[in-house]
Amino acid sequence: MSRPMDVQAELNDGLRELRLPAVRQSYEELARQAEREQLTYEQYLLELVHREEDARHEARISRLLRQSRIPREKNLETFDLKRLPVKAARQIKTLLEGDFLDRRENLLVFGHPGSGKTHALCAVGLALIAQGRKLHFTTSALLVQDLLRAKQELKLSRLIKQLSSYEGLIIDELGYGQQSREEMEVLFTLLAERYERGSVLLSSNLPFSQWTLIFKDAMTTAAAIDRLVHHSVIVELNVASYRLEAAKKNQPGIVDGGEPPEKTEPAADPAGSSQDSSG
Ligand code: ADP
Ligand code: MG
């Protein structure tokens, strides 16, 4: 039998080697507790196993959070569902169950600037990550930049493959900024590749009828809309701008000059024949 000091040193080394940091951290304290509470060897071991499992789960979630690039402050706690149209709030609650990711369905969020599209996508994303799901947040502009750079370096398919490791790819602000045809081609390639393979969660302040502004020609636009809408949940946040309301509260005199011009407002039903699967 080794001496107690040697046992500890060897245990520490072994647990380090086996990469069981939580066991290493808690075995001593738990051993004292086990003596006090007269736990069986199995109960003691089980408690240690649980500690390691918990630590790994936590580490995995923080890794997923980091990789997701989702702004942490746009979470469900800071998102007031009561401000949303009843249907949108109900849809978002259903989305939080995460089944749409298993079905590789898309989430398309429409609304005026300031209506909470970005916050809604982030809040759903963060909640799903807490359940261990893998998502990534980017804006349409950033994504297009990355895709173009990859294309120039002949690494487009590699990047698309990397992105396919995410169950949900959040593409925020589709339609902001006028992009060139080449820029939109890479975006279309990505959407086509992801079709039925992984969920896309996107927001746009442009109704489908104006997506030719994004995809340039009618054919590409129709093809992009087809793929996105085919299996999708469409959430419409057609509510007064939250930014504007907050400003109004602080400055009662403010008038509605901050609202977007007519043409950027989504139509009542952006999808036309919406295949809203969340009912
Ligand atoms: P959009 O992306 O549609 O332009 P944002 O999601 O950026 O709008 O929302 C604008 C601001 O208002 C953000 O600071 C956001 O956190 C806040 N906001 C919007 N909707 C809500 C809501 N329902 N509850 C709490 N804050 C909200
Ligand atoms: Mg936004």
Q: What's the CA-to-centroid distance between 78 and ligand 1, angstroms?
A: 9
Residues 126 and 264 in one domain: yes
Query: Which letter does DSSP use for residue 267 in this model?
Result: P
Least confident of 24-38, 155-169, 233-247: 233-247
**80-105: per-residue pLDDT in tens?**
999 999 999 999 999 999 999 999 99
What range does the domain containing 167 cover?
A: 69-278
Q: What's the CA-to-centroid distance between 83 and ligand 1, angstroms?
A: 10
Query: Which letter does DSSP use for residue 268 in this model?
Result: S
Residues 20 and 95 in one domain: no
Q: Is residue 180 classed exposed, middle or buried when 0-12, 13-18 and 19+ CB atoms within 10 A define those classes?
A: exposed
What radius of gyration do the chain's Cα atoms show? 25
Please name which ligand lies nearest the alpha carbon of 114. Answer: 1
Among the candidates 48, 66, 84, a domain finishes at 66
- CB-CB contact of 160 with 188 (8 Å): no
Q: Structural domain tally of the chain?
A: 2
Bridge-partner residues for 107, per DSSP? 201, 233
Residues 81 and 55 in one domain: no
Residues with CB under 6 A from ligand 1: 74, 78-80, 83-84, 111, 113-119, 242-243
Please name which ligand lies nearest the alpha carbon of 120. Answer: 1
Mean pLDDT of the chain: 88
Atom of ligand 1 nearest to the CA of 205: 3
Among the candidates 25, 44, 66, a domain finishes at 66
pTM over 0.85: no
